[in-house]
Structure 1
Amino acid sequence: MKDKIKSIISQMTLEEKVSLCSGKDFWHLKGIERLGIPKIMVTDGPHGLRKQSGEADHLGLNQSVRATCFPTAATTASGWDRENLFDMGKAIGEECVQEQVSVVLGPGTNIKRSPLCGRNFEYFSEDPFLAGEMSAAWINGVQSQGIGTSLKHFAANNQEKARLVSNSVVDERALREIYLTAFEIAVKQAQPWTLMCSYNRINNVYSCENQWLLNDVLRGEWGFQGLVMTDWGAMNERTKALEAGLELEMPSSGGYNDKKIVEAVREGKMKEAVLDRAVTRILTVILKAQEVKKKNYDKDQHHNLAQKIGAESIVLLKNDGMLPLNKDVSYAVIGAFAEKPRYQGAGSSKINPHRVEGALEALRNMGIKCEYAQGYELCSDEIRQEIIDEATECAAKADGAVIFAGLPDSYESEGFDRSHLDMPKNHNALIEAVAKVNPNVTVVLQCGSPVLMPWKDDVKGIVLSYLGGEAAGSASAKVLTGEVNPSGRLAETFPMSLEDTPCYNNFAKEAKDVEYRESILVGYRYYDWADIPVLYPFGYGLSYTDFSYEGMQVEWDDDSGTGSVKVTVSNKGKRAGSEVVQLYIGKECSSVMRAPKELKGFQKVFLNPQETKTVKLMLDKRSFSYYDIEEHGWTIEDGNYQLYVAASSRDMRLKADLKVKGKVIMRSPEYKVTDVVKNGRFSCSREQFKMLFEGEFPITPQMDKISLNSTVQEVLEKEAGRKSFQEMVDRFNKKFDGEDDLNIMMRAMLKDMPLRGLAMFGEAAMGDIEKKIKDMN
């Protein structure tokens, strides 16, 4: 292939080379007919294929072809099952083959820094090791079918607020250990065909033009072989991005940025070899895509796979003896989500499924005697007493009640972040009212991220199904009835309150600078370090059976930097089930700021009643390493480490100490709990945060003039801005005046959108916007 690509490039004009470096339209890469280079299609799809059948618009306002809607990443990560992720990716790859889509845009691998991030349903975990392992498995599954993937959003994109212009201010150690590690694992284990840059800046440099990130780290250290593309509309300075290692701009600037590249080469400001390097990488993807022949997939098989993965990812949070359900008694099934489930997130990942199964119908088909009551309205959080009264009357006559509740699309979506952790007030009111008339209540939660549970002590069962895909209803029914023994484990912490989260004071504020003051103390790392109680800990989940752990054995060789932990796991109960064996490593006496323990291995194991198996978890140098900011590399601190085999981050079953050879470390910059945790809340000042940085603190410089990166809100605050852009903004708003989730998302995004973003949505050509800016200034 290398010789063929070299031959093609030798025949190309400068303009033809440049033309390949941006999209033909929203979903296609350009081809060159005279050289036999075809256009290829890319499309959204972290949890299914979203190929638009009509005119493309990126956001899904136009209908997409029918495809299998698999459970979202928040759900599948709770399964802790690499094989399921591979199988899901393989199935999505098969659907891409049928629809002649060459690259599917996913997986979303960003860390859940805060449970408020509106797009958390599309991401795997707060833990980089788990997120990386899940991502790699999914990518390998898709690419086993000859279909490419696009690992996204690279990097430090952890909120929706102002995501096109925000500046993630993050110290080097946190960036490496928390925000880049998942991407590193995915690149090294799976080599995705493409990688998608995030919109935001990292320490004041846009991701898509970040030489250090794209060339030094991604390609130089990790050995990435594919091409790098922008997120849609993320391009800032085109020639700078090309030199930094970003090949493909999506969708297109209408020739505006292509012209800049041509001028830069002709004027000697950029070497043509830089362009040839980019074209080589783009052609590699295009030619690889042509090797796949169209074939049809089995829709029923994929639906059944979605059901299997959904059921095996459900987390049983509480069970005081009510579950599994009993076919000999009667139940009230309550809540509109039982009939019309919320099974996927809102935004650009929204799938048009073949069919959707609700839990009410599934329970009845499985022989559960039940009556139904609506309980609340789907499109409102208003408490309507007459609907709640109907539900309580239904519940009072039944032996038990199963309530389906959670978060509607309007509460969590791409484009905006949540402002609180509460469920709709009518959902909470319903649960509280039903619990007063029936002592046997189970709540099934359909949501993409953590919620508060003020009624937790008033119910006997809590089942977290997250967003379970098109078979969410039948998957839930299988777990509720015991046909499937729940084996999901939380891939994120459920906090007691929003104020308990470490980034509470530094998340999604109005300022463009987002200071990651909590540094490496994200998720369970922080809660354990500060000894903060949680609602449910990372890694937690119950089963209908009991498991025991025995015989922990640790092997380690300092010279090779390899080893393993073996443990014997037994099913002591009467039901077959799967346990997730988790390995955490900590260092009690360290000269480096550390969490008490970090996840370094896991394995899901299926056991029949009374069966015993040995689980082997592998160790390597990174199992014990931290990122040394003095050496700018990974370092093992010399000394004793504690290894824990656990059922969750707060349920340590076995412990072993291990002496590991390494570097003797002098005390490094760090936080002390007593200095940064006040009254149980993380409260770190900017001055304390600055200790973790070398050199100038990388915040946004003050700008008096309007630029392409000025937001719509900033521009409209000026009289000249209103005269120049108000009509354009009003026209944009008129396009999105509906009340469905996509229109709400777009209106929320508008005020934080940079002026260059208006060009992507067709409101004006980039040149016209630049002229208006020049006239204003």
Structure 2
Amino acid sequence: MKISFHQISLVVMAVAMSFSCSLGVSAQQLRAENIDEVVKAMTLEEKCHMVLGRGMHFNDEAKFPGTAGSTFSVNRLGIPETYCADSQQGLRMSATRAWDHHDYYPTDFVASMTLASTWDREAAFKVGKGIGNEVREFGLDWILSPAMNLIRNPLCGRNHEYYSEDPYLSGTIAADYVKGVQSEGTAACPKHFVANNQETNRNNNISQVSQRALREIYLKAFEIMVKESDPWTIMTSYNKLNGPYAVQNGELLTTIVRDEWGWKGMFVSDWNAGDDAVAAMLAGNDMLQPGQDKQYKAIYEAAKSGKLPMEVLDANVKRILEYVVKTHNFKGYKYSNEPDLKAHAQVVREVGADGIVLLKNSGILPLAGKRVALFGCTSYDWISGGSGFGGTSVGHYTVSLVEGMRSAGYEVYKPLIRTYTQHIAAEEKRLFPNGRPPFSLMPPARADEKQFTADELNAAIEGSDVAIISLGRKSGEAADRSEADFYLKEGEKQLIKAVSEAYHAKGKQVVVLLDICSPIDVASWQNQIDALVCTWQGGQESGFSLADVLSGKVNPSGKLPMTFQNKYGDAYADKNFPSNVDDKTLGAMFMWGYNKDQAPKERKPQANIDYTNYEEDIYVGYRYFDSFGKSVAYPFGFGLSYTTFGYDNLKVTEANGVFTVKVDVKNTGSKAGRNVVELFVAAPNSKKANKPEKELRNYAKTKLLQPGQTETITMQVKTEDLASFNEKASAWKTDAGVYTFMICSSANDVEAKATAKVKAWTKKVNNVMKPNVKLNLLKR
């Protein structure tokens, strides 16, 4: 058996510790108040091990099998091992363990887009708290979430983990998720820092971004989250950013985050990110996961030679120990392995329903008829979340659409159940002749749609009052979706056309459900149907959540956290994204450890694979469509209700640079419902100043308003919140002038507006993170 240098050093350490104990030498025992003394008491070997992880826990004999890894322990100093787990949607770990009759099924919470679509900070806190509690009660310390990169393009493979195209919405939802996690004494780990907006060649791609876009768009989401929630840890990303790897970029990690933002937590790398362990330490990335022999050797030799100053290594170790002393394992928490799964399931059901977005409704919803025919493979193979380590956790069930509709009192047309069960089974055999793989970073293929004869459709029409067609899309890390996946497949088109024509000919209507991971084309076909519901992916209670909305038990209040464009290519960013890359293994390269010998041979760098120029600059999502007058299928912030709302008495007042916005929101319809109030602000002379037409600056969600009931909503915006980044001055600047405050029901629908005079404001920052190439940036 080959013995590694890493293993030899551990044996030497164990012998040394045993010798010191036999001599009766007492060592400092770690406490929250003596961390500096403990760092001084550590040997160089111990420090070099402390900044590395201890591998991933994939084997059956691990303490917590199926989890992401752990931190180094030093027993003689009272430093315990702490444990981390992956997944944005809940704790990811093995559901069963060797020689153990118990099961360890965690809750499969809602996907990120579903949570963001609630536009509800309280919902984000509840989900974070539930996940933090399960981490605690299952014996771990640290959850590697939330993922909160900006949705720059609808085809990014990890969009299901991300919240929004807008930094304010992303940052605030993430902040309350973090607060919820950490309220349980569990460490949160916002990621992937930063500009990790594609999976293609993710370990080597250089994101090339202007200082302004980086500050206003990509860093802003993290800045909001950091300042509002103070996460204990942050994970750096795989990609390079304006030159160096993010994990090895001192201007990014130290100058901006520590010096400017004042954050004092622990940076940890994404698993096997970067190619220079010493550079990562010097940059301020405190821990490298999951830890490699060559990283230990490099750090040890650099520390001995002085290339890695001891004060830098000590600072890395100190921040790690500051994390350790907060953890459950350090405090000796006696975990139960029995979190309140029923209570968490109720949270999933409620948040899943609140995150559903009603896009179109001819009046058919809520459903009055009690007989439904469910078409589409997804209706019988519901997708609760994405794949990969950040995807859906190993939940023990997903409530089906069939069960959900039946629970709400609907009669589901049985012949279609039998037909689809047989069809999906046949497709499984065709697609996976050797059996479906148990785990994949990238989502496996899904069944093609079944087509129906006229007789079969006529029978379904006779046996139902309404047709419901479900369309599904699933994505995962390590590969981006293709442009073709943005559009309907031929079988899906044919199914919608055939069902719609047949039902309409009999005077009956058709509803389409979008069980999707990211926006798709709806503009080309939605005129054929009567209602369109974006369900996103709602976790284990999906069927119940959806039935609650379709039946009217819950009035839909979700709003889109990103734009649905008419066709792919409409967004300016689309031309700088790898939408048609043949080699779908590029994203998975070096996942298990970077090896330069395995790297592709030298070749001419390819756009959007080896480097991606963010030429759209600040004009991401609605900022582009709105500012350049481009039509969309559904705008950012859009979502219908079963009732209507009115807005009155908008007032904006100012005191000490803080603008207080008040507006009365009245339920003017006939059903009780909640409403999202979106506050956009437009700067004076925005086109001349090359600023977006308007930007989201705050939002709020009403309580459940009964018909005729009014609630006064209050929101605040600071003068500094209105600032843009001036690259020449390397400063945030709010120009003096008259600003327009708009209450909106979407980025395209202004319900009320008022103006206010704003004084100039400036804050100088460090002139760092310049792109290493000249970018051809979009301007108004």
What secondary structure sits across from 1:140 in the alignment? Answer: helix
Asked if 2 retains the 8 angstrom alpha-carbon contact of 1:395 and 1:434, the reply is no
Which AA in structure 1 matches 2:138?
A: E
Residue 316 (structure 1) aligns with? 358
Residue 225 (structure 2) aligns with? 186
**Cα distance change on mapping 1:242 and 1:314 into 2, 3 Å:** same
Residue 487 (structure 2) aligns with? 422
Matched, 1:348 2:389: yes
CA distance in 2, matches of 1:380, 1:661: 56
Residue 554 (structure 1) aligns with? 652
**Cα distance change on mapping 1:609 and 1:284 into 2, 3 Å:** same
1:268 counterpart (306, 311, 317): 306
- State the 1:355 CA deviation: 2.2
Residue 601 (structure 1) aligns with? 698
Which AA in structure 2 matches 1:531?
A: G
- State the 1:623 CA deviation: 2.8
Matched, 1:623 2:721: yes
Of 650-659 and 170-179, more deviation after overlay is shown by 650-659
Matched, 1:641 2:671: no
Matched, 1:195 2:234: yes
Asked if 2 retains the 8 angstrom alpha-carbon contact of 1:64 and 1:351, the reply is no
Deviation by residue 1:739-772 (Cα, 9 ceiling, x = unmatched):
xxxxxxxxxxxxxxxxxxxxxxxxxxxxxxxxxx
- State the 1:3 CA deviation: 3.5
Asked if 1 retains the 8 angstrom alpha-carbon contact of 2:732 and 2:762, the reply is no
Of 504-513 and 358-367, more deviation after overlay is shown by 504-513
CA distance in 1, matches of 2:663, 2:446: 50
Which AA in structure 2 matches 1:458?
A: Q
Which AA in structure 1 matches 2:498?
A: A
Matched, 1:544 2:646: no
Asked if 1 retains the 8 angstrom alpha-carbon contact of 2:376 and 2:450, the reply is no
Residue 5 (structure 1) aligns with? 35
CA distance in 2, matches of 1:160, 1:214: 22
- State the 1:389 CA deviation: 6.9
List aligned pairs for 1:581-596, cutoff 5 A.
581-590=677-686, 591-596=688-693
- State the 1:203 CA deviation: 0.5
**Cα distance change on mapping 1:396 and 1:506 into 2, 3 Å:** farther
Asked if 2 retains the 8 angstrom alpha-carbon contact of 1:50 and 1:65, the reply is no
Matched, 1:259 2:297: yes
CA distance in 1, matches of 2:103, 2:204: 29
CA distance in 2, matches of 1:299, 1:657: 49
Residue 338 (structure 1) aligns with? 379
TM-score for both structures, normalised by structure 2: 0.82
What secondary structure sits across from 1:246 in the alignment? Answer: coil
Which AA in structure 2 matches 1:430?
A: L
Asked if 2 retains the 8 angstrom alpha-carbon contact of 1:392 and 1:433, the reply is no
Residue 689 (structure 1) aligns with? 776
Asked if 2 retains the 8 angstrom alpha-carbon contact of 1:547 and 1:573, the reply is yes
List aligned pairs for 1:116-515, cutoff 5 A.
116-253=155-292, 255-289=293-327, 290-291=330-331, 292-295=333-336, 296-327=338-369, 329-349=370-390, 350-372=392-414, 373=416, 377=424, 380=446, 382=448, 384-386=450-452, 390=456, 393-395=459-461, 397-407=463-473, 409=474, 412-420=475-483, 421-439=486-504, 440-453=509-522, 454-508=524-578, 510-511=606-607, 512-515=610-613
Asked if 1 retains the 8 angstrom alpha-carbon contact of 2:209 and 2:614, the reply is yes
- State the 1:581 CA deviation: 0.2
- State the 1:691 CA deviation: 9.3
Asked if 2 retains the 8 angstrom alpha-carbon contact of 1:585 and 1:623, the reply is no
Which AA in structure 2 matches 1:7?
A: E
Asked if 1 retains the 8 angstrom alpha-carbon contact of 2:376 and 2:449, the reply is no
Asked if 1 retains the 8 angstrom alpha-carbon contact of 2:472 and 2:514, the reply is yes
CA distance in 1, matches of 2:454, 2:90: 36
Which AA in structure 2 matches 1:650?
A: N
**Cα distance change on mapping 1:422 and 1:13 into 2, 3 Å:** same
Structure 2: unaligned runs, 5 residues or longer = 1-30, 57-68, 428-444, 582-605, 764-772
Residue 32 (structure 1) aligns with? 74
CA distance in 2, matches of 1:72, 1:298: 20
**Cα distance change on mapping 1:637 and 1:441 into 2, 3 Å:** same
- State the 1:570 CA deviation: 0.1
**Cα distance change on mapping 1:423 and 1:321 into 2, 3 Å:** same
- State the 1:53 CA deviation: 6.1
Structure 1: unaligned runs, 5 residues or longer = 57-62, 666-685, 693-777
1:524 counterpart (616, 619, 622): 622
**Cα distance change on mapping 1:387 and 1:304 into 2, 3 Å:** farther
Deviation by residue 1:74-107 (Cα, 9 ceiling, x = unmatched):
1110000100110111111110111111110000
- State the 1:382 CA deviation: 4.0
What secondary structure sits across from 1:531 in the alignment? Answer: coil
CA distance in 1, matches of 2:97, 2:34: 34
CA distance in 2, matches of 1:388, 1:5: 75
CA distance in 2, matches of 1:235, 1:66: 33
Residue 683 (structure 1) aligns with? none
CA distance in 1, matches of 2:452, 2:751: 49
- State the 1:383 CA deviation: 5.0
Deviation by residue 1:587-630 (Cα, 9 ceiling, x = unmatched):
24144211100000000102111100100011112331101112
> Share of identical aligned residues, percent?
36
What secondary structure sits across from 1:404 in the alignment? Answer: strand
Asked if 1 retains the 8 angstrom alpha-carbon contact of 2:719 and 2:758, the reply is no
> RMSD between aligned alpha carbons?
2.2
CA distance in 2, matches of 1:326, 1:149: 44
Equivalent residues, number: 659
Which AA in structure 2 matches 1:415?
A: A
Asked if 2 retains the 8 angstrom alpha-carbon contact of 1:582 and 1:602, the reply is yes
CA distance in 2, matches of 1:479, 1:335: 19
What secondary structure sits across from 2:675 in the alignment? Answer: strand
Residue 121 (structure 2) aligns with? 82
What secondary structure sits across from 2:302 in the alignment? Answer: helix
**Cα distance change on mapping 1:433 and 1:101 into 2, 3 Å:** same
TM-score for both structures, normalised by structure 1: 0.82
- State the 1:428 CA deviation: 2.7
Asked if 2 retains the 8 angstrom alpha-carbon contact of 1:50 and 1:64, the reply is no
Which AA in structure 1 matches 2:564?
A: F
Which AA in structure 1 matches 2:776?
A: F
CA distance in 1, matches of 2:134, 2:201: 34
Deviation by residue 1:698-725 (Cα, 9 ceiling, x = unmatched):
xxxxxxxxxxxxxxxxxxxxxxxxxxxx
What secondary structure sits across from 1:593 in the alignment? Answer: coil
Of 478-487 and 27-36, more deviation after overlay is shown by 27-36
Asked if 1 retains the 8 angstrom alpha-carbon contact of 2:676 and 2:701, the reply is yes
CA distance in 2, matches of 1:663, 1:22: 43
Residue 19 (structure 1) aligns with? 49
CA distance in 1, matches of 2:208, 2:752: 38
Matched, 1:653 2:751: yes
Asked if 1 retains the 8 angstrom alpha-carbon contact of 2:236 and 2:269, the reply is yes
CA distance in 2, matches of 1:65, 1:29: 22
- State the 1:387 CA deviation: 7.8
What secondary structure sits across from 1:544 in the alignment? Answer: coil
CA distance in 1, matches of 2:78, 2:51: 17
